[in-house]
Structure 1
Amino acid sequence: MPRTASLPVLPLVVVLAAFLAACASASQDSVPIATTLEAATERGPFGAGVMTLELVDTSRPTEPNRDFPGADQRTLVVELWYPADSTATQPEERDAALDRSKAPYPLIVFAHGLGGNRRQSVSYTQHLASHGYIVAAPDFPLSHLGAPGGPRLKAVLEQPKDVSFLIASLLGFSEEDGHPLEDAIDGEAIGVTGHSLGALTSLLTVYGASRDPRVQAALPIAVPGCLLSEEIADDLSVPLLVLGGTRDLLTPPASNRGAYDIANPPRYLVELLGANHIRFADVDLEDGQILALELVPGLRERDIISDAREVAQALGGDASACPTFGTGADDDQPLSPERQRELLRAFATPFFDGYLRGSEEAAAFLQEELPGLIPEARVEFEME
């Protein structure tokens, strides 16, 4: 399987040692780390509890959108997964008691795609919770499936601030006596991940004017990297893993490559041969069905195009460089939906274990062993 790197693999462990030690969370020695393919892809030692929160940011308005007049505040409905009692047999257990034996836990924010919602990728978020992460997934006010006026691509410009508000709220709950999340979150171990427009949200949370310095690692999935300025990363160095599919008709390989190219090390690019766009979520469709734009009420192609231009202008990117919908993908044999999501878990688990838990073993597995175990993946990385 092809793999390229700018440095020999063995010295990378030495290079990473100081960095990972600095990033290590308080619970790294007590939670099992993903250093085998089975450990990375299968559910972890915890059950997955889930609760729903409603958070209101009174400091920022919700913009008008088509026939929606706007609002004086921004409301985030948030699904929160967390490590729970390992005896739970269901994929998730609502309002289960938090397993406090290994707390505090790293926090990961998941950002949904355009016309998606907070529960679009539960196989991924439940998996991370079972591996000892608290995962928060909001419905963004103007890009989720039920957004007033219909979901809009340009809403992404406000979403990084929503992520920061969400992080601040959860850290506050962790410090609040008697709250179900009391002492649950490691504020020094925060990551972001997201799909499609949510992938762009995750990048804007670590780069540019909306950067949140509390975020220590990012894993964007199928990202429209063409909308970003080549200088947006500046001299920032935030661990990044860009993951995409070669059969993606919405954000084809060149789009993910663009996001990787603008980043500073440590950075990873993972291309899954035969993976499409939509199946990274728990949606078993072909991209062509999504391109018809008839599955999501209020999602209009003309607005997507005009919004993309507006976003690119705001971010210093070039919308004309973005591939036309339905072009730019390869003709690889398609992956099954289950396999595509399994491979997402395979790379995400050791990445976050490496960069949020500070595990040298997980980082070494991600670089040295995992690529050779997955023939459907092309992996490229650079450490310095």
Structure 2
Amino acid sequence: MRLYEILLALSCFALLMSTLFTRKLPRLSGIVASTISMSILTLHLWQEGYRWQMFGVYSLTIVITGSPCWKSIRSSSTVNLWRSVRYTLFGLSCVVITFTVLLSSCLPVFQLPKLEGSYQVGTFTMSLTDEGREESYTENGGDKRKLLVQFWYPAQVDNVQKTEPVFPEDPKMLAAYKKGLSSFIKLPEPIFDYWKYIRSNAYEEAAVQHSSVPYPLIIINHGMGTTRLLHVSQAEQLASHGYIVTSIDHPYSTVATAFPDGTNTDYRTTFSMDNFYTVGKSIGTVWTEDVNFVIRQLDGLNAGHMPSPLTGAIDMDKIGVMGHSFGGATAFNVLNTNPRVKAAVNMDGSLYELDIHRLADKPALFLKADKFAEMKEQQRKGLITDAKLSSIIAQELAIMEKVKQHGGSVIQLEGAKHYNFTDLQLYSNLLQYAGITGTIDGYRGASVVNHYVLDFFNKNLKGTGGALMNGARSEYPEVTFH
């Protein structure tokens, strides 16, 4: 809960006490409690903004303060409410306050993890159109493949700048993301209205913090049917440690993509786990070319051919790619097909390209959820009865073993499920009970993933660090090397 929300809940309880138990408290206490409660409510609405989770406390505060009935009770010390009525009202009101607090805590306006690097972070978003590729997901002939990319980078920040919200402030753009994510989480869209208050740690279009050497580049790819906005904390942390990060929205494979010109795209990719290995390659080809196109565009941006704060700031000879789920598989595919990419991180992504002979001699980090060891053991013991699935798993495991020979690592995170490799784990603890995230605390999960990803890229792009890649460490008991 936010500061004024906590104060409002406490003041509402104090107001309730002063109203229902006027014989035990001075008459002036009711006036003071009413004034304080209404002042806090006003400050909360002005500074933090309304959200529906607090409706119960809003209603109690206004009713107790403004209702003539409550005023008459408070104004006379001789009023003798039946004890049962008085305590019933008190009990019901306490239930309302308690439920409001629980609801606000379970669906919080959460904060992204604080930056741990030495740099403050700037951000901006731009669209890029590949004139050489037609868009395959639209019905209009001649439509070109149009991408939305967001950048994070080490920045110089003045005192008047404010951090950017995670979701767009434009109501139409925000509505597109709420609609898409509500379908993904399978809850009504109005529930997520409070997301507009979630803020990042980055400052929009802040000046780049120039360095004596340019910064390595890392490209992030979201999972199938999600969005780049679920990887903001990962991007910010890397940028705060001296990387330039760009995250790609792969249109028509996201819950929504809201472009700066006001156009929005939805999810249209025909894809499921049932057709993963037949359709996956064709979709992966599109995503891989998206990444390759962005790299080519960044050559021009870095050379000053496009207006941006990043001219000359990117080391285009030190490129890493990472991603979650299908985006992780794409990152690994780009590593093996694009000679400019030096290292890749695959966060719990099943591979759609299983040809072990296509592997490049370059390092990759595989981060796996907590069922990986069980699946690996079942495969070893021959307990997977589906012959096709068993063959696919065997090929994936063989690729991971080969990756380790090329300086890579395969790591399992205990207590993590698939979406613990995204910011979704920060949105609500209730996601754990829905089976979307695992038992590991969201902030702890984010911290472990961010530290291992950073150490991997430091080792392979900067030539520093690498200690975490050497094996198990006592400060990370959740991590198992395979």
Please report the TM-score for the alignment, with normalisation by the length of structure 1.
0.68
In the other structure, the counterpart of 1:150 is 268
Secondary structure, counterpart of 2:294 in structure 1: helix
Residues 278 and 287, structure 1, Cα contact 8 Å, conserved in 2: no
Partner of 1:107: 217
Residue 43 of structure 1 deviates from its aligned partner by 1.4
**Distance in 2, Cα, partners of 1:198 & 1:158:** 12
Could you tell me how far apart the structure 2 residues matched to 1:61 and 1:290 are?
35
SS in 1 for 2:368: strand
**Pairwise CA distance, 1:369:** 6.9
State the superposition RMSD in angstroms: 2.9
Q: What is the CA-CA distance between 1:372 and the residue it aligns to? A: 3.6
Residue number among 443, 455, 459 corresponding to 1:354 in the alignment: 459
Matches within 5 A, 1:1-384: 43-64=116-137, 68=139, 72-85=143-156, 90=163, 91-146=201-256, 147-148=265-266, 150-153=268-271, 154=280, 155-176=283-304, 179-207=308-336, 211-225=337-351, 227-234=352-359, 236-247=360-371, 257=397, 259-263=399-403, 264-284=405-425, 285-286=431-432, 334-359=439-464, 362-363=465-466, 365-368=467-470, 371-380=473-482
CA contact (8 A) 2:354 2:399 kept: no
Q: Could you tell which deviates more after superposition, 100-109 or 75-84?
A: 100-109
- Give 1:7's aligned residue: none
Deviation at residue 258 of structure 1 after TM alignment: 5.8
Q: Residues 368 and 262 (structure 1 numbering): CA distance in 2 closer, same or farther, change over 3 Å? A: closer
* Post-superposition offset of 1:101: 2.8
Alignment match, 2:172: none
- Cα deviation digits, residues 143-199 of structure 1 (max 9, x gap): 111244524444333111110110111121111167422111101110000000100
Output the CA distance in 1 between the equivalents of 2:270 and 2:121: 31
- Structure 1 residue 247 displacement after superposition: 4.6
Distance in 2 (alpha carbons) for counterparts of 1:42 and 1:287? 29
Gaps of 5+ in 2: 1-113, 164-200, 257-264, 272-279, 380-392, 426-430
- Structure number with greater Rg is 2
- Over 3 Å counting, the alpha-carbon distance change for 1:121 and 1:56 in structure 2 is same
Q: Is 1:276–1:286's contact at 8 Å kept on the other side of the alignment? A: no
Q: Is the 8 A contact 2:148 2:249 kept in 1?
A: yes
Are residues 259 and 79 of structure 1, via their aligned partners in 2, closer, same or farther at CA, if it must alter by over 3 Å?
farther
The question of whether the paired residues in 1 share the 8 Å contact of 2:223 and 2:327 is answered with: yes
Query: Does the 8 Å contact 1:143/1:156 carry over to 2?
Result: no
How far, CA to CA, are the matches of 1:244 and 1:141 in structure 2? 26
Instruction: Give the fraction of aligned pairs with identical amino acids, expressed as a percent.
Output: 29
Alpha-carbon offset, residue 116 of structure 1: 1.2
Distance 2:248 2:450 in 1: 20
Shift of 1:230: 4.1
User: Residue type matched to 1:150 in 2?
Assistant: R
Q: Deviations over 1:335-379 (max 9, x none)?
A: 1111111110110111111100122xx12x123476343111102
The verdict on how the C-alpha distance between 1:257 and 1:341 changes in structure 2, with shifts beyond 3 A counting, is farther
Give the distance between the partners of 2:357 and 2:266, measured in 1 at CA: 31
| CA 369–197 in structure 1, closer or farther in 2 if over 3 Å, else same | closer
> Which of 142-151 and 254-263 deviates more?
254-263
1:294-342 CA-to-partner distances (Å, cap 9, x unmatched) read xxxxxxxxxxxxxxxxxxxxxxxxxxxxxxxxxxxxxxx8211111111
2:152 aligns to what SS in structure 1? strand
Q: Secondary structure at the match of 1:373?
A: coil
- Tell me if structure 2 keeps the 8 A contact 1:47–1:87: no
Q: Distance in 1 between matches of 2:412 and 2:375?
A: 10
Q: Structure 1 CA distance, aligned partners of 2:249 and 2:116?
A: 25
Q: In structure 2, what is the equivalent of residue 328 of structure 1? A: none
Partner of 2:28: none
Rounded Cα–Cα distance in structure 1 between residues aligned with 2:347 and 2:433 = 15
Give the distance between the partners of 1:214 and 1:114, measured in 2 at CA.
Answer: 25
Q: Normalised by the size of structure 2, how large is the TM-score?
A: 0.55
Structure 1 residues not aligned, in runs of 5+: 1-40, 292-332
Distance 1:353 1:86 in 2: 25
C-alpha distance 355-151 of structure 1, shift in aligned 2 (>3 A): same
d(CA) in 2 for partners of 1:127 and 1:114?
Answer: 23
SS of the aligned residue for 2:473 comes to helix
CA distance in 2, matches of 1:152, 1:137: 23
Q: Is the 8 A contact 1:273 1:376 kept in 2?
A: yes
Compute the displacement of 1:86 (Å): 6.5
What code does the residue aligned with 2:456 have?
A: F
| Structure 1 range deviating more: 153-162 or 125-134 | 153-162
Residue 23 of structure 1: aligned partner? none
Q: SS of the counterpart of 2:209?
A: coil
